Structure 1
Amino acid sequence: MIKKLHFGKRTIRVQLTTWYILLLACTLMLFSSYLYVVLEHSLLRQLNTTLQVTATQTLSNLINKDGHPAFHITEESQAMTEQFVQAGIAVRLIDQQGHIWDGFGSYSAIPILIPQKKGYLDLSSPEKNWRVYNQPIQTSKGYIVWLQVAESLEPVYKASKHLFDLIILGFPLVLLIAGLGGWFLANRALNPIQQIISKAQRISASNFTQRIDYKGPPDEVGRLAKTIDKMLDRLEFAFEHERRFTADAAHELRTPLTVIKGRIGVTLSRIRTPEEYEITLQDLEKEADRLIRLTNGLLFLARLELRQIQPSFLQPVDLTNLLGALVEQLEPLSASKPIILKETIAKNLWILGNPDYLTSLFLNLLDNALKYTQEGGQVILEAQQDEEQVKITIQDTGLGIEAKHLPYLFERFYRVEEARSRQTGGVGLGLAIAQEICRLHGGKLTVDSQINQGTTFSLFLPRTRNF
């Protein structure tokens, strides 16, 4: 249970909610602090304005009495004084020695302090804290008397404390509501991902037909679901390809082994003459050669598909000489059938490639053309180039291939005619190997064929400048 709770704390849902609450808490703290400071300064500014206005009005009501200033008592001044007193304002006149000459309101509760300059002071007494405005007055005798206008700071403190209490009480409530809202929003945002996880967990190597099939809006989650579906399509194709390859390879390996076992069983069933033993051994040798060709072809194809070709294997290759040598090598085979082997090869055909791989590629294509062309037919090899690429075509006048077979012609073990392929000794890997070699060299291999008119293989390879 502890492990589950510990793991749950690390879910994206919890992390999003936690970060949301922390961010909101920091924002509220900053905003509340700013609001508290602004309110306090605003109240102090209003209080300062009130004190200064009161001082201005009071100055206009001063008279000179016995050589020093005093408040002039009139009906109008008494009404104004009562308003000041009711507002909690205290006013007094004090000299440099601290003697109070006159005043009204609770001026006696204000601590005695002789100011040094005009302006505002905060004074504290056991009962109250005061905000005092000090205004110097020059008497007729030349000495300074201070007009002090004061008001209690308690309303400011109470308003600030009230705001602080509201912040303290509302802060947890706001965070609680925000946390619940964040959890709800995180659930709503992550529920599609949970559905994707549930569907993905039901997909296995034996059940690749299921897809996420997301029906929501085309947002990030929707794009993720579509990406996963496309990945599953590729994986399904790869698994199906490997299963088909495994089944085909097992079938191809089983056939010669069955023949070998059958021939051995028949031979051992009774005593044979030396000539019969020799014929049997020759047949066994043919099947063993077929097994060797098959395994070598599979290993070679596997290396090609893994792209195990190092840059050091690539070198400038003169296709003019290479193709000419291959045609010369195959002329005895074509003459024995007999088949006319023609060539039209341009000069200075250079590409960057691996000579051994390229030899295997062209031998596969030329050998196929010679195998499936009847007596008296012809095979034509043409090689030309333009500014970007070298084009090699191998055209024969054989029976041709039906259009339905062309899309699968470069697949492993695919045969157009099973019986004919076995008669020619093929294992169904030649064109697949040719296709992979072409891709390794950055080229493209295509085929075009028509029944009773022959087949043409076209190979396009990137051109390299002359050396």
Structure 2
Amino acid sequence: MLISDGFMYVEFRRTLLDQVDSALEVTAIQALKNIDDEVDVLTFDPREDSPVLTSLLDEAGVSVDLLDQNGVINQRLGDSLTFPLQAQLSPGFKTIINADERWRVYILEILPRDNRPAGWLRVAHSLQSVDTTLRDLLKHHLFEIPLILGMVGLGGLFLANRALKPIGQITEMAERVRISGDLTQRIRYQGVTDELERLANMFDTMLDSLQATFEREKRFTADASHELRTPLTAIKGRLHVTLSQQRTAENYAETLQAIEQEVDRLIRLSSDLLLLSQLEQHHLALNLELIDLSDLLAAIAEQVQPLAELHHLKFSTHIASNLYIQGSPDHLIRLFLNLLDNAIKYAANDGQVTLTALSGDRSIQVMVSDTGIGIPPEHVSHLFERFYRVEKSRSRAIGGTGLGLAIAQEIVHRHHGAIAIQSGLGHGTTVTVTLPSQ
């Protein structure tokens, strides 16, 4: 506003001065025409109506002087505005100050003509009216500044309060969540599409993620407690039954063997939990190295072949050669043994398990397929969750801990790859692991 008003003030002052200069120039031309050419002294033609002209010049605040070559005044019109002019004579416009009053002066050189000698024509106009107008304009602008600033301040306060309202909602909601611990609360901002809407939506999304994380952790804690309690309860029950009365040596041996099985299950569960925690928190170094995945998969297939024959399954491999990746051999062996073990466990009797490895566009795909009964579609998206089982009782019967696929997913992610499951009831299951190739 200051820059705009300053520019308007300067332009308005220039316009007023241009108008004064134009009036002085017109007056000078008219006065030059009224000079008497028939005498040898610079003077105005007495035949012109000098009193009327002088009165008009007085009203206009204009003074017209005829000066000789030395600057001596020969004649003056509008003498009520007379003032001493000591400035050096030179053609053109100039502004001078006399008696605290500004004057605009236009000097025109008079050339000799016939009997008329050379000299100077000086036309002066008081700038009092111009200065008064400029002062009034300046006062108007000075009065306008606090008024507009007040309006802008009130408008800014209104807009700021309105714009920052979502921030207040976020703060209040965050405080409620902190006090109550209820992660189901949301802002649900409804307003204009701007950065604050993005902030509010992002906050809601963050709360969704936190709620899902906490629910997953609560479910994990409950599942882990249940998984640990089951074998411990079995051990406690067998001990109680065995100690309730005298038993034979064969009965004690049978009880100890059953307890050993439950302890082995607890050890597997504890080991899997520790490994999964280390993988998720990146506390376990993978020590990646360049390995030939073709040879690794072939060696794993040799280990799995007897297990497949034990379950009366046909086990076949289709492994391309020269499949090189950067990986950890120990973790990759655990990954593919886990997937093949699952395929063999859940394949139908006299079914088939297939291990396929192909080279793709800057990636390697390893697929483990079985001809089992398949998995219902509603369960497929949950298979990588910890302790998730499609048939819990059946899974425990075959010795699973419910952590195998969660560990497999973490191993694949640590190798910058992806893992996916395709399955359908009656169509078997295919697990596809995609790893970056070298």
On whether the aligned pair clears a TM of 0.5, the verdict is yes
In structure 2, what is the equivalent of residue 286 of structure 1? 261
Aligned counterpart in structure 2 of residue 109 of structure 1, from 72, 75, 82? 82
- Partners in 2 of 1:142 and 1:106 — Cα distance? 23
Three-state SS of the structure 2 residue aligned to 1:110 is: coil
Q: Deviations over 1:271-301 (max 9, x none)?
A: 6666555444443333222222111111222
In structure 2, what is the equivalent of residue 176 of structure 1? 150
Aligned counterpart in structure 2 of residue 445 of structure 1, from 397, 420, 423? 420
Q: How many residues align?
A: 433
In structure 1, what is the equivalent of residue 67 of structure 2? 94
Three-state SS of the structure 1 residue aligned to 2:30 is: helix
Identity %: 41
Shifted more, 28-37 versus 440-449: the winner is 440-449
Three-state SS of the structure 2 residue aligned to 1:235 is: helix
In structure 1, what is the equivalent of residue 197 of structure 2? 222
Three-state SS of the structure 1 residue aligned to 2:124 is: strand
Aligned counterpart in structure 1 of residue 161 of structure 2, from 166, 173, 187? 187
Contact 2:21/2:106, CA 8 A, preserved across alignment: yes
Is 1:432 matched with 2:432? Answer: no
TM-score, length of structure 1 as denominator length? 0.81
Aligned counterpart in structure 2 of residue 84 of structure 1, from 57, 70, 88? 57
TM-score, length of structure 2 as denominator length? 0.86
- Partners in 2 of 1:416 and 1:100 — Cα distance? 119
Deviation at 1:176, TM superposition (A): 0.9
Is 1:248 matched with 2:226? Answer: no
Shifted more, 425-434 versus 197-206: the winner is 197-206
Aligned counterpart in structure 2 of residue 231 of structure 1, from 190, 206, 215? 206
Contact 2:38/2:116, CA 8 A, preserved across alignment: no
Shifted more, 69-78 versus 174-183: the winner is 69-78
- Partners in 2 of 1:136 and 1:395 — Cα distance? 111
- Partners in 1 of 2:379 and 2:85 — Cα distance? 113
Give the letter for the 1:313 counterpart.
Answer: L
Contact 2:356/2:367, CA 8 A, preserved across alignment: yes
Shifted more, 425-434 versus 223-232: the winner is 223-232
**Quick one: structure 1 residues 203 and 351, their matched pair in 2 at CA, closer, same or farther if it must change by over 3 Å?**
farther
Deviation at 1:249, TM superposition (A): 0.9
Give the letter for the 1:129 counterpart.
Answer: R
- Partners in 1 of 2:393 and 2:96 — Cα distance? 115
Q: Aligned ranges for residues 277-356 of structure 1 at < 5 Å?
A: 277-306=252-281, 312-319=287-294, 321-335=295-309, 337-348=310-321, 350-352=323-325, 353-356=327-330
Is 1:360 matched with 2:356? Answer: no
Q: Where in structure 2 are there 5+ consecutive unaligned residues?
A: none
Shifted more, 395-404 versus 148-157: the winner is 395-404
Shifted more, 398-407 versus 290-299: the winner is 398-407
Deviation at 1:341, TM superposition (A): 4.2
Contact 1:85/1:105, CA 8 A, preserved across alignment: yes
**Quick one: structure 1 residues 93 and 340, their matched pair in 2 at CA, closer, same or farther if it must change by over 3 Å?**
closer
Deviation at 1:265, TM superposition (A): 4.9
In structure 1, what is the equivalent of residue 14 of structure 2? 41
- What is the alpha-carbon root mean square deviation over aligned residues? 3.2
- Partners in 2 of 1:167 and 1:184 — Cα distance? 25
Q: Deviations over 1:306-331 (max 9, x none)?
A: 45676841423333x22332232234
**Quick one: structure 1 residues 435 and 198, their matched pair in 2 at CA, closer, same or farther if it must change by over 3 Å?**
same
**Quick one: structure 1 residues 61 and 311, their matched pair in 2 at CA, closer, same or farther if it must change by over 3 Å?**
farther
Three-state SS of the structure 1 residue aligned to 2:42 is: strand
